[in-house]
Structure 1
Amino acid sequence: METKVTIIIQEMLPLLNNAQLLALRESLERHLVSSVNQQKYTNNSLLALFITAKQVEGCSAKTIRYYQRTIENLFTSIKQSVTQLTTDDLRSYLAQYQSEKDCSKANLDNIRRILSSFFAWLEQEEYIIKNPIRRIKKIKTEQTVKETYTDEHLEIMRDNCENLRDLAMIDLLASTGMRVGELVQLNRSDIDFENRECVVFGKGKKERPVYFDARTKIHLKNYINSREDNHPALFVTLLGKAQRLGIAGVEIRLRKLGQKLGIQKVHPHKFRRTLATKAIDKGMPIEQVQKLLGHSKIDTTLAYAMVNQSNVKHSHQKFIS
């Protein structure tokens, strides 16, 4: 009998929305299977279960907060149960959100992607029968060329660092391409000077080795040897009692340096993009760049890098012409 109910539900998938399918299933089970009444879940209880699932998957606290805030915004706008929402409901919500917030297409697609993850989980866990957002396609965004640092920019920043810490920090970001969140988590004991490498913990607590050059090794050693504190952190604050330098501290320091030198948009992530672009530009296989940066998807790596057009022309002449 259970199999017959499933067959009937599958046949009705193209014709009914979630609320109707749930009602049909409950009716069939009540009259044909004599099942017990299903437990009812509120929007907030379903969100709590979803967030727990994401935490188990290893998502960072920042990602978890973004997921929760995005889905709570949906709850605030749409008062009914998420188990009853249709594709049209969600399309209307996204259109209204873009109109009211005047957000970019990229931001709107991020919201669509998060909602898609939530409803896919609801479907997988059988809280809903049909995912209503599956038919809402990826929102096309304009592809902009991301800026990178030139070799001159990097040398100017190195020459104008006011202390050994900032010099070592810039060199480490430039030579490894690590995320700023990975940088501030490093301890002195994590640095393997002999092999010029260290292990960082990326998104989802995944560890990976990163590598630095001889110049970075020298500047890191000079910085560490100059310190008089016993704090285990690799990078610490300069004023008052030594404390681990945070992400905001790194961003503020680099922004001020950029403003002083007249270099636009100086921030930690730009070092990462610069390394990716330089590596691909010099012929490093994209799969190795992906490993170096710790990307789970190669498309992310491709989106980071800006390939030099002159090298595209050279490759065309070499491989095609």
Structure 2
Amino acid sequence: MSTPIPNTYQIWIDAFVAYLKSEKGMSEHTQSNYQKQLTIIATQLVSFGVQNWQQLDIAWVRQIAAKGAREGLKPNSLATRLSCLRSFLDYLVLKGELSANPAKGVSTPRNHKRLPKNLDVDETGQLLDINMDDPLAIRDRAIMELLYGTGMRLSELIQLNVKNVQGDRGEIRVIGKGDKERIVPFSGEAKRWVLDWLKVRPLLLKEEQEALFISKRGTRISHRNVQKRMSEWGIKQGVTSHITPHKLRHSFATHILESSGNLRAVQEMLGHESLSTTQVYTHLDFQHLAQAYDKAHPRAKKKPES
């Protein structure tokens, strides 16, 4: 059992987490991550002999980063820890407990983010070519069709309730990051299989349940269950790529962007706040952007030769 951190640290962590909930509207998952990271940092500072947050300076922040690196923390995990600390110290500056944020002077380790390779259209068709009467197979195809057909996150799909599906309007109400709501259009195969699933869903019900997707026990399906089932379907369908929910989201974004070129629409459908996030996510290359620019921008069009 870990040793409790001093109250001089804990009261500000608790106040910050409450602030994230009430003022920022962040999800419980995000609040928990901040709580965890700040508790680790506070424990390290206590071991360094630092009495409270107010004594923190740039040298101690560098010690935190160095300790994480020595312990084998990967660059992206260390970047996450420093980002949490930076946000927290901004809060202390806001509350007048610090005059400046010492974490802003410490550079974040370079994060070599690996994006998943998307499936091509043929591979996607091969994966989704499931035609079985088994309720679990119908459920799984509905899940995969919905992930590929809307680009929603796994966490968003898990949280869906039956009432969120408006089949007559071809819309699904999704609760995304930060409990932000967005309306996602769904049609075609995604709509067809979700409606087919709703017809057989009562066969798995044990008691009243609001979740759209349920397990064979009749409870809301778990993240791990979806991941496991999708991996198994990839093998059964002879797809060479390892199948994950995120890969289907990535494939959705890539295929929509390749066919439409509408980055703003993809941003909205993915639920990204920043357009730059969408650009990274869909691995737009410079050549693609340059071609779009040459075709569309009035100052880029070639002048006729005289």
Q: When the two structures are superposed, what TM-score results if normalisation uses the length of structure 2? A: 0.83
Aligned residues: 279
Extract unaligned runs of 5+ from structure 2.
1-6
Whether the 8 Å contact between 2:147 and 2:249 is mirrored in structure 1 is yes
Q: SS in structure 1 opposite 2:284? A: coil
Does 1:127 pair with 2:127? no
Q: Tell me which residue corresponds to 1:89.
A: 60
Deviations 1:189-215 (A, max 9, x none): 221222211111111111100011212
Q: Secondary structure at the match of 1:173?
A: helix
Residues 264-294 of structure 1, C-alpha deviation per residue, up to 9 Å, x if partnerless?
3321122222222222222343222221111
Q: Could you tell me which residue of structure 2 aligns to residue 38 of structure 1? A: none
**Over aligned residues, Cα RMSD in angstroms?**
2.3
Contact 2:62–2:106 (CA under 8 A) maintained in structure 1: yes
Indicate whether 1:203 and 2:160 are aligned. Answer: no
1:247 pairs with 2:217: no
Q: Which amino acid aligns with 2:209?
A: H
In the alignment, the residues of structure 2 paired with residue 279 and residue 141 of structure 1 have an alpha-carbon distance, to the nearest angstrom, of 27
- Select which of 26, 29, 32 maps to 1:65: 32
1:188 matched to 2:162? The reply is: yes
User: Is 1:257 the equivalent of 2:233?
Assistant: yes
Preserved CA contact (<8 Å) 1:59 1:203:
yes
Q: 1:283 to 1:71 in 2, by over 3 A?
A: same
- Structure 1 residues 171-192: Cα deviation after superposition (integer angstroms, max 9, x where no partner): 1111111111111222222212
**Pairwise mapping of residues 31-70 of structure 1 onto structure 2 (< 5 A)?**
42-56=8-22, 57-70=24-37
Q: Which whole-Å CA distance do the structure 1 matches of 2:131 and 2:29 have between them?
A: 31
Map of 2:250 onto structure 1: 273
1:126, distance to aligned residue in structure 2 (A): 0.7
User: Could you tell me how far 1:133 is from its partner in structure 2?
Assistant: 0.9
How many angstroms apart in 1 are the aligned matches of 2:40 and 2:235? 36
**Distance in 1 (alpha carbons) for counterparts of 2:289 and 2:264:** 19
Alignment pair present for 1:175 and 2:142: no
Q: Take 1:108 and 1:268, find their aligned partners in 2: how far apart are those partners?
A: 25
Distance in 1 (alpha carbons) for counterparts of 2:190 and 2:130: 16
**Aligned-partner SS, 1:198:** strand
Q: Is contact 1:191–1:197 with CA below 8 Å preserved after alignment?
A: yes
Farther-moved stretch of structure 1 (311-320 vs 133-142)? 311-320
CA contact (8 A) 2:126 2:239 kept: no
Distance 1:300 1:161 in 2: 36
State the distance in 2 between where 1:188 and 1:145 align: 32
Gaps of 5+ in 1: 1-40
**Aligned to 1:234, which of 212, 215, 232?**
212
Is the partner of 2:31 in helix, strand or coil?
Answer: helix
Asked whether 1:297 is paired with 2:264, we answer no
SS in 2 for 1:147: coil
| Pairwise CA distance, 1:316 | 6.7
Compare 111-120 and 309-318 and name the one that shifted more.
Answer: 309-318
Residues 79 and 108 of structure 2 are in contact (CA less than 8 Å); yes or no, is this contact kept in structure 1? yes
Distance 2:66 2:26 in 1: 28
1:179 maps to amino acid = R
Q: Cα–Cα, structure 1 residues 117 and 177, in superposed 2: closer, same or farther, change >3 Å?
A: same
